[in-house]
Amino acid sequence: MATLDVDAVRAFLLVAELESFTKAADFLDTTQGVVSVKLKRLEERLGYRLLDRTPRSVRLSREGNAFVESARDFVAAHDRALRGLTLPPARLMLGVSHNLVGTELTALLSMLHVFDPGLTIEVRVDNSRRLLAELDGRNLDAAIVRHVDGRDDGCVIANEQIGWYAAPSLHYEPGTPLRVASLPATCRVRAMASRALDDAGIPWLEVFVGGGVNTVAAAVSAGLAVAALARPAAPAGSVEVGPRFGLPPLPSSDVMLHSGSLDERAKQALRVIAASYGGKDRVADTA
């Protein structure tokens, strides 16, 4: 009977989620060559190609896409069998800034589940300052936030560009007030965007205020307004309209991971989080 190497299947899932052999190798503390060999042997064992590779990208093949769910079940069952004997259930309280909730969070949660199926993840979404206050009060174990002035206790795990996003159908006539959707006044991205418009002398009108980034994204998708968003938070189908509308460029923003005093299991989970953003090496001493 043919058997599968669980480490090879786990490596496949990491490459699939991160879309990168390099990032997967970094997380596994090995080389890209070792990961490639594991994947090649797994493909030979299965009898089909799992990934389509080009010099610029890594994507699931048709067969690889069909194998993903079975691979997750396989790794989860393996880990449950081991952890059922050694580790009790655990909980990770994670805060995530409004503007960082997007497709990357989906991939992150999937990776955490593959890494530790026995870990219950509780996610709290709020603005960066409130999340840091919750972390300081020990109501959170870790927080993924935008850089806040005066806080140097976290580590940079990514740098993301903020852009102007709108539905393709949205029409804007230069010189008329720009219709803007935003988060409440406490949002730092909102303050940055409004200041950039004012400095550029562009009149604007706030037509929608959402309590969370998903509601702002809904307003963008509906064609109501333009919104300043990080790329992962931009809704599917929206486009970056800054150059076309003549809007001022917005600065990039560091994504920070802050954490409290954690046990080794939670530290490993934070390394998964950092790896999903490409910053595993920088979290080693912080977690």
Name which of 15-24, 37-46, 109-118 the model is least confident about: 109-118
Spatial neighbors of 277 by CB under 8 A, at least 6 apart, are 104, 157, 158, 255, 257
The per-residue pLDDT of the chain, averaged, comes to 86
Query: Does residue 281 register a pLDDT over 50?
Result: no
Q: pTM (2 decimals)?
A: 0.69
Looking at residue 228, its pLDDT comes to 96
Burial of 115 (0-12, 13-18, 19+ CB in 10 A): buried
Looking at residue 285, its pLDDT comes to 42
Spatial neighbors of 210 by CB under 8 A, at least 6 apart, are 181, 182, 183, 216, 218, 219
Looking at residue 95, its pLDDT comes to 94
pLDDT tens-place string over residues 245-256: 999 999 888 899
Spatial neighbors of 265 by CB under 8 A, at least 6 apart, are 87, 90, 116, 119
Looking at residue 179, its pLDDT comes to 97
Looking at residue 85, its pLDDT comes to 59
pLDDT tens-place string over residues 201-225: 999 999 999 988 889 999 999 999 9
Looking at residue 35, its pLDDT comes to 93
In three-state form (DSSP H/G/I as H, E/B as E, the rest C), the secondary structure along 19-62 is CCHHHHHHHCCCCHHHHHHHHHHHHHHHCCCCEEECCCCEEECH
Work out the pLDDT band at 241, boundaries 50, 70, 90: very high
pLDDT tens-place string over residues 113-154: 777 777 888 999 888 889 999 999 999 999 999 888 888 888
All structural domains of the chain: 1-86 (1.10.10.10), 89-287 (3.40.190.290)
**Cα distance between residue 128 and residue 147, in whole Å:** 8
Read off the pLDDT of each residue in 37-62 and give the average, rounded to a whole number: 91
Looking at residue 231, its pLDDT comes to 84
Share of the chain above pLDDT 70, in %: 93
DSSP state of 172: -
Work out the pLDDT band at 109, boundaries 50, 70, 90: confident
Name which of 40-49, 74-83, 181-190 the model is least confident about: 74-83
DSSP state of 178: E
- Choose between 110 and 183: higher pLDDT: 183
pLDDT tens-place string over residues 154-187: 888 888 889 999 999 999 999 999 999 998 888 8
- And the tokens for 68? 């993903």
Query: Does residue 287 register a pLDDT over 60?
Result: no
Query: Does residue 230 register a pLDDT over 70?
Result: yes
Query: Does residue 234 register a pLDDT over 50?
Result: yes
Positive or negative CA dihedral for 113, 115, 116, 119? negative
Query: Does residue 284 register a pLDDT over 60?
Result: no
- Choose between 20 and 37: higher pLDDT: 37
